[in-house]
Structure 1
Amino acid sequence: MGRAYSLLFRTVLTRIDPERAHHLAFGAIRAAASVPVVRDAVRAGFAPRFPQLRVRALGRTMPGPFGLAAGFDKNAVGIDGLALLGFDHIEIGTVTGRAQPGNPRRRLFRLVADRALVNRMGFNNDGSAAVAARLARRVSRPGGTVVGVNIGKTKAVPEEEAVADYVTSTERLAAHADYLVVNVSSPNTPGLRALQAVDQLRPLLTAVREAADRTVTGRRVPLLVKIAPDLADEDIDAVADLALELELDGIIATNTTISREGLATPAEEVAAIGAGGLSGAPLTERSLEVLRRLHRRTGGRLTLIGVGGITTAEDAWARIRAGATLIQGYSGFIYQGPAWPRRIHRGLARQLAASPYRTLAEAVGTDTGTPAGPEAGAPAGTKEGAA
């Protein structure tokens, strides 16, 4: 399957505009999930389970640690199809308070030589009201797919009204989320990354936490923040300290980067693409560094989700040992194809079997010198099942 997809990618998909290719592929995934015979065949072929990879995180038991990052399914239209391919959790979004078309096309580009993407999508989505209604129509099943909801700021909303915009989305979406992510790190919404500054981030996260608690009864919705790889080390420390102070449930490290250093793609080609967030293999080292720093700073008291430049099972294993309880991918899905989650799971099972650890939880943070938290990275004091 890997060779067949590689041939398809080189000969067909690279000749199609990346955004159009995304819609075609996503349409096929959704169609497969709607036909019972096809659905069963896809599940059997693409989503073998490895009991030894089971993890407990954010108040949920998941069949494995590997999820699909936000950005692929912005509007919660293909969760079941994506789960068929073997992703252990799906993060939808980014969803904004109001529907918006995003930035003008072209806005998604491949850097094939770097196994990377550049996007300036601009949070194109149907808005939190429409996405909440769509999530509410999903059949609730015990043990079903874990769904995270990633929320961001509407572009047209002034910065001084950003908190209210996030609160609106929280009030609509929190009840349908297994966990909620505040995205303040996309480079494609003007002024958004300024919200990572602690003096602005504190009131935002406090308001979102209060809105989630006010809206959802009977359970505490886990709340995480997603940060950029471009933050200075002292700013990473400040966000980690704030997350502990506010008793957040975790941090996602990292979003895309605005850096263009060290690329194999010719500089003039990169310059012609213009602005946008870079994702994929070039992020590997920096995202790993940020993750290690967060784990050391928080002492294993937060659930960390590692994302950015994960292509192989070895990359995934390195994130776990650097402090990640969960891991996510996106660009690797584009370059590796539908069998990618299966290969990650098989490779992780091999890595675990060759290690001195019995479970993935035991391996979390082992190359940072900091032990894992009480729930493989959950905040100290979090009650089991409270999420």
Structure 2
Amino acid sequence: MSLIERAGLALLHRMDPEKAHGLALRALRSGLAPLPGVVRSDRLRVRIGTLDLPNPIGLAAGFDKNAEAVSALGNSGFGFIEVGAATPLPQPGNPRPRLFRLPQDRAVINRFGFNNDGAEAIARRLAAQPCDVPLGLNLGANKDSADRAGDYVKVLECCGALVDFVTVNVSSPNTEKLRDLQGPAALRALLARVAEANAALAEPVPVFLKIAPDLDNSELDEIAAVAEEAALDAIVATNTTLTRDGLTSPHGDEKGGLSGAPLFDISTRVLAKLAARTKLPLIGVGGIGSAEDAYIKIKAGASAVQLYSALVYEGIGLAARIATGLDTLLEQDGHASVADAVGLETARWT
């Protein structure tokens, strides 16, 4: 980490977390943050569906909810980025405070509640900002919607032509009863409606599904079966967790979704269990803070990974450091590509 980045993080950590996050986005958008550019190598290239990723390190949804800094983030070392979640109508989300740092645990708790400017505003920003890497949008539903499945369709219809992939988010713990959509009947119906809307686009896009880590084996069986039936392009494992085991930070009992280092083992076990249940590509998310973490996820079954919370503690340059470090780890183990390492240690986590 550079001295400039270290100083910037020290300043941000003196501020309220949500205000600091907003300032970081403004710094990215204004060009004040030094950016490393896209990390590329033949060894790191990954293909998921129709997407060609220059490297497998992605930015998870939630960092740039409103697509405010797309161009800058696409030049920050990531191989792909995901913005949102977007809902059809703007909504303020849950009352503040709703974002909490847990520095002793290298973790974050949030209970944002899909706060965003709405699909139309996000679409305008997507149209105005080029991105050097594949760009995705996380689809969400309004809190008070009478037809949540219809909300996903509306966002896809509004923004689908402006992105390279979309993620159906049925796993946020901060919108009441949203996780009910992970049940097989509800999920099957939702994905059918999304598929119909996607097919109607001039150029259909890959569709991913993001699931929760708080699922048992039978629930994973059902999700894997429905996802394969729907011919999804990938499953994103996982969103934040409701568990609080072993936390030591003062804010550890706050309500919301927990992300960061404590999620690593939980999410990796779910990832590996899915790898044993489906041949669909998997994107590993949860607790990644180093090249070694990313490599573990890949060997557990992930074709690519995403991160977010670690940026709070390591800065925006972390993505490039992880990608470069992963390239080295793959080379040391004699792998010519990321694909060579995918799933080599799935059994360790199941």
TM-score using structure 2 length: 0.94
Displacement of 1:361 in angstroms is 1.0
Unpaired runs of 5+ residues, structure 1, are 33-37, 370-387
Distance, in Å, in 2 between the alignment partners of 1:81 and 1:275 is 32
Contact 2:48/2:234 (8 A) holds in 1? no
Partner of 2:195: 209
Deviation at 1:282, TM superposition (A): 0.3
Residue type matched to 1:297 in 2? R
Deviation at 1:175, TM superposition (A): 1.5
Aligned: 1:78 with 2:62: no
Is the Cα contact below 8 Å between 2:299 and 2:341 reproduced in 1?
yes
Return the alpha-carbon distance in structure 1 between the equivalents of residues 294 and 2 of structure 2: 18
In the alignment, the residues of structure 2 paired with residue 6 and residue 196 of structure 1 have an alpha-carbon distance, to the nearest angstrom, of: 40
Residue 229 (1) aligns with residue 213 (2):
yes
Aligned-partner Cα distance in 1 for 2:56–2:271: 16
- Quote the residue 2:298 is aligned against: 320
Structure 1 residue 356: deviation in Å?
A: 3.0
| Structure 2 equivalent of residue 270 of structure 1 | 252
The CA RMSD over aligned residues, in Å, is 1.9
Do the aligned partners of 1:46 and 1:339 also contact (CA within 8 Å) in 2?
no
| Residue equivalent to 1:243 | 227
2-side partners of 1:137 and 1:25: how far apart?
Answer: 20
1:255 corresponds, among 236, 239, 242, to 239
Name the amino acid aligned to 2:252.
V
Match of 2:111 among 111, 120, 123: 120
The corresponding residue for 1:383 is: none
Residue 19 of structure 1 deviates from its aligned partner by: 0.5
| In the alignment, structure 1 residue 51 sits paired with structure 2 residue 42 | yes
Structure-1 residue corresponding to 2:87: 96
The one-letter amino acid paired with 1:28 is A
1:31-64 deviation digits (Å, cap 9, x = unpaired): 11xxxxx79xx45x45443332111123122210
Distance, in Å, in 1 between the alignment partners of 2:37 and 2:317 is 6
- Alignment-mate amino acid for residue 263 of structure 1: L
Partners in 2 of 1:292 and 1:205 — Cα distance? 23
Aligned residues: 348
Structure 2 CA distance for aligned equivalents of residues 61 and 8 of structure 1:
33
Determine the structure 1 residue equivalent to 2:164.
178
Pick the structure with more helix per residue.
1
Q: What is residue 293 of structure 1 aligned with on the other side?
A: 273
The reply on whether 1:194 has 2:180 as its aligned counterpart is: yes
Equivalent residue for 2:310? 332
Taking the aligned partners of 2:8 and 2:73, their CA distance within structure 1 comes to: 20
CA distance in 2, matches of 1:292, 1:177: 29
Aligned to 1:147: 135
Aligned-pair identity in percent equals: 46
Matched letter for residue 210 of structure 1: E
Secondary structure, counterpart of 1:15 in structure 2: coil
Q: Assess if the C-alpha contact under 8 Å between 2:39 and 2:54 holds in 1.
A: no
User: What's 1:133 paired with?
Assistant: 124
1:135 & 1:60 partners in 2: Cα distance? Answer: 18
> In structure 2, do the counterparts of structure 1 residues 345 and 124 end up closer, same or farther at CA, with 3 Å as the change threshold?
same
CA contact (8 A) 2:171 2:182 kept: yes
Is the 2:170–2:178 Cα contact (8 Å) retained in structure 1? yes
Deviation at 1:8, TM superposition (A): 4.8
CA distance in 2, matches of 1:6, 1:234: 45
2:248 and 2:4 map into 1 onto residues whose CA distance is 25
SS at match of 2:292: helix
* Deviation sequence 1:248-274 (CA, Å, 0-9, x none): 1111000000111111225xx423xx3
Q: Please, what TM-score do these two structures have when normalized by structure 1?
A: 0.86
Q: How far apart are 1:2 and its partner, in Å? A: 4.8
Q: Which runs of 5+ in 2 are unaligned?
A: none
In structure 2, what is the Cα distance between the partners aligned to 1:135 and 1:48? Answer: 22
- Cα offset, 1:341, TM superposition: 1.1
- The residue type equivalent to 1:100 in the other structure is Q
User: What one-letter code is carried by the residue in structure 1 that aligns with 2:18?
Assistant: E
Equivalence for 1:18:
17
State whether residues 42 and 337 of structure 2, in contact with CA within 8 Å, keep that contact through their aligned partners in structure 1.
no
Displacement of 1:87: 1.2
User: Retained in 2: the 8 A contact 1:292–1:322?
Assistant: yes
